[in-house]
Amino acid sequence: MENVNWIRTTTTQAVGCVQVKAGICGPNEVLMVSYWRSESDLKQFFRGEPHRQMMQFVRQHPDSLCLYNETYQPWHSGKYSHEPQGMARLYASPVG
């Protein structure tokens, strides 16, 4: 779990990261999704040492962590039953 917390914290602090959401999928598996302002921010993160260390951990523990990275620019945010998550935090919610 220590590695998962480090991955989440390091990713959240990276330039261009909007949000990181993590969830437990099973007794030994965590799913983590990161949302990025732009593809260039995400690519810059991929070139850094923290990402290299993350990939080394994933190679050593291939069934323990699923990482997903999202970048997209919708025309507007959708409607949410609770606070917006991920990329929706960047766009104004539609009225009504």
Chain segment 7-33, per-residue pLDDT in tens? 999 999 999 998 898 888 888 888 898
What pTM does this model have?
Answer: 0.73
Chain segment 31-81, per-residue pLDDT in tens? 898 988 889 999 999 999 999 999 998 899 888 888 888 776 666 555 555
42: nearest Cα among 74, 18, 22, 23: 18
For the chain, where are the alpha helices, taking DSSP H only? 2-13, 39-46, 49-60
96 has pLDDT over 90: no
Q: Are 3 and 32 in contact (CB under 8 A)?
A: no
Per the model's pLDDT, the better-predicted residue between 89 and 16 turns out to be 16
Domain that holds residue 6: 2-72
Joined together, the tokens standing for residue 47 give 């070139």
Joined together, the tokens standing for residue 22 give 């993590």
Number of domains in the chain: 1
Task: Evaluate whether residue 90 is within a structural domain.
Answer: no
Task: Evaluate whether residue 10 is within a structural domain.
Answer: yes
Determine the Cα–Cα distance for residues 94 and 84; give it in Å rounded to an integer.
12
